[in-house]
Chains A and B, each alone.
Chain A
């Protein structure tokens, strides 16, 4: 059957049924009258709006209900502060990593060099039993723990749509906590009573440090995985003569405050976790955990190694400056005596050791007294620790790491 004859037939009734829909939408022709009247100053009002009854403004009652309303966090909140404070939190990292941390804290870096005493103590080899203990600690953190949590999804770039089976296992926060606590326990066991009785070991403490740099109020909020404190301040003899320092870099065109989001609700006083009345309040070593699931960039790309190293520098600065402000007051600028702090950052496999010397809290510009950061980065403790064909396996254990940890505890 030829369709064209049927298709070309028109039923006028169809047009009548649909025509009102089309005629119901009329676009008025713009004669320009409204604009010319407005130009002469004559007010023009829509007729339908004019005809509507105007509502009288009624009195608002503040009804006190069963619960107090939660006030929204905007300018009208009583705790709102006009001056924004740029905050670096435990879960965020700096954009330029260690270079930006250098500029923010006015620090010069001695790459791959730790104080002599630590290097000497690290070379002392520990007995075999201790290394066996360390291997047991690694296995118990990675393999033998019974936590079953959903680990992050595995994605392959060549097969982006494929959903791999979800793996349950030990979360990285728990793995780091177990490993660091067991390592510290081993170190304490192998040392004399006189050394251990002078030290406190505190877990999961927060330090806040608020300071001013070139007109911006900056706040570092950090959480120590483990903070080891002692009854006398830490002292390092450091010979600065022949060390090639990495000077404070110029970050142009990026400003040093990038990736520090401004916040209007903050506390202007720095916080140090231990009260001044405690006898063992002087910070000795701080252990920082790097948990890949918790710490990340705002733009959701993986954290780079420079960003991880910058994080340990800012953490050491936070603890040292919070302690300095508790000792000398909030507004101290140049310290009478330098404050030293040891810092160890780990993500379970890689260890970054550092010693921070705080000389001044006046971080404006690049002249004057500067703080110093001695570091030894990226020391691997082991290559892999997992179940391999049913058997728990630890590959390529590195005994040097324990030497450094012991040296850091004993100095």
Chain B
């Protein structure tokens, strides 16, 4: 059958034409055993909502965005249902790494303005230090003209931190409200970004700090990981209902359908024993890349 398709494009002619042996082999292989393009499964930390066009250097200029509408950029196929449309917002490139001096007094930064970002639920603050401007996630009571401090120094006595300051987890007293916690020291804040959320520092175990996440799960971090003190801005976001189906469309969510039973299956309430404290470690070895065995010569 594949040979039929191969020879369908050829015509008979009086003069003998030379078809290279390799060309025939290649074309036959392609028709006979073409694998279907692989479509990824939704989830695993990847969002199929938008692609931001990042320039090479960090800039404060709002960046252009292309909406993906749930499609995988590689295969072009629909991966996540229910995403599409909505108002297109420019992306404010947030500087996730809050770096400070390892010794001496903390670095002071000034908040210029607090703006709303259409690409996240929390508000974003424009901050100036020296001759650099950058964006950070704004905390609850942050306003223009505030001075915030950053330091990577780990002192013997815990620091009395104010809202918006960034210190290492080991420097903060127990019971402090934090957000934007780093996974590994120096890589930038990864945990707790949503509006109104916060984590609580519960206890210290040797050189690890146990923090309670907004989902009430306990994570254990290295004490040199940076965290920002305070609760994230836009606290009423979780309490405001969306209000109308049209507003949901403006947010970029397409209409959902499907039979939903409140107490069944994945929608029902689950009572389980609490999971043990998860230790967050730096990844020492990354897995080797997969060897793809295919039939193309």
Q: Find out whether the CB atom of B290 lies under 8 angstroms from the CB atom of A26.
A: yes
Whether, in the assembled complex, A30 has its beta carbon less than 8 Å from a beta carbon of chain B, the answer is: yes
Q: B147 at the A/B interface (Cβ < 8 Å)?
A: yes
Contact assessment for A253 and B147 in the assembled complex, using a CB-CB cutoff below 8 Å:
yes
- State whether the Cβ of B227 lies closer than 8 Å to any Cβ in chain A: no
Interface set, chain B 52-73, CB cutoff 8 A to A: 59-62
Which residues of chain A are near B129, meaning CB under 8 Å? Answer: 253-254
Measured between C-beta atoms, what is the minimum distance from B169 to chain A in Å?
24
Chain B residues near A30 (CB-CB < 8 A): 285, 287-288
Total count of chain A residues near the partner, CB < 8 A: 23
Pair A160/B250 contact, Cβ less than 8 Å: yes
Question: Interface readout for A245-277 with B: 1 if CB under 8 Å, 0 if not?
Answer: 000000011110111100000000000000000
Interchain CB contact under 8 A, A253 and B109: yes
The answer on a CB contact under 8 Å between A258 and B132 is yes
Output the least CB separation between A327 and chain B (Å).
Answer: 32
Closest to B291 in A: A26
A51 within 8 A of B: no
Would you call B4 an interface residue if the criterion is a C-beta within 8 Å of the partner chain's C-beta atoms? no
* Residue in A closest to B115 when the chains form the complex, CB atoms: A301
Q: A1: CB under 8 A from chain B?
A: no
**Closest Cβ neighbor of B89 among chain A residues:** A160
For A32, the closest partner residue in chain B by CB is B285
How far is it, in angstroms, between the C-alpha of A160 and the C-alpha of B246 when the chains are bound? 12
Write the nearest CB–CB distance from A402 to chain B, whole angstroms: 37
B29 at the interface (CB under 8 A from A): no
Q: Is the CB of A253 within 8 A of B130?
A: yes
Interface pair B294/A300, CB less than 8 Å apart: no
A161 contacts which of B126, B132, B250 (Cβ < 8 Å)?
B250
Contact (A24, B131) CB under 8 Å given A253-B109, A299-B62: no
Name A257-314 residues within 8 Å CB distance of B.
Answer: 257-260, 298-301
Specify which chain A residues have a CB less than 8 angstroms from the CB of B78 in the assembled complex: none
Does A27 lie at the interface of the complex (its beta carbon under 8 Å from any beta carbon of B)?
A: yes
Query: Is B133 part of the contact surface with A, judged by Cβ < 8 Å?
Result: yes
Residues of A within 8 A of B250 (CB): 160-161
Q: Nearest B residue to A25 by beta-carbon distance?
A: B290
Tell me the A186-201 residues at the B interface (CB within 8 Å): none
Q: Is the CB of A298 within 8 A of B290?
A: no
A21 at the interface (CB under 8 A from B): yes
Residue A336 at the chain B interface, CB threshold 8 Å: no
Is there contact, CB below 8 Å, between A258 and B290? no
Asked if A254 meets B130 with Cβ closer than 8 Å, knowing A21-B35, A26-B290, A95-B112, the reply is yes
A258 touches B61 (CB 8 A): no
**B293 at interface, CB cutoff 8 A:** yes
Given contacts A253-B108, A254-B130, A298-B60, 5 further A-B contacts (CB under 8 A): A253-B110, A257-B131, A298-B133, A300-B62, A301-B113
B residues whose Cβ falls under 8 Å from a Cβ of A = 35, 59-62, 87, 90, 107-110, 112-113, 115, 126, 128-133, 147, 250, 285, 287-294
User: What are 12 of the A-B contact pairs (CB < 8 Å)?
Assistant: A21-B35, A27-B290, A95-B133, A160-B87, A253-B129, A254-B129, A255-B130, A255-B131, A257-B131, A258-B132, A298-B60, A301-B113
List residues of chain A with CB under 8 Å of any chain B CB: 21, 23-28, 30, 95, 160-161, 252-255, 257-260, 298-301
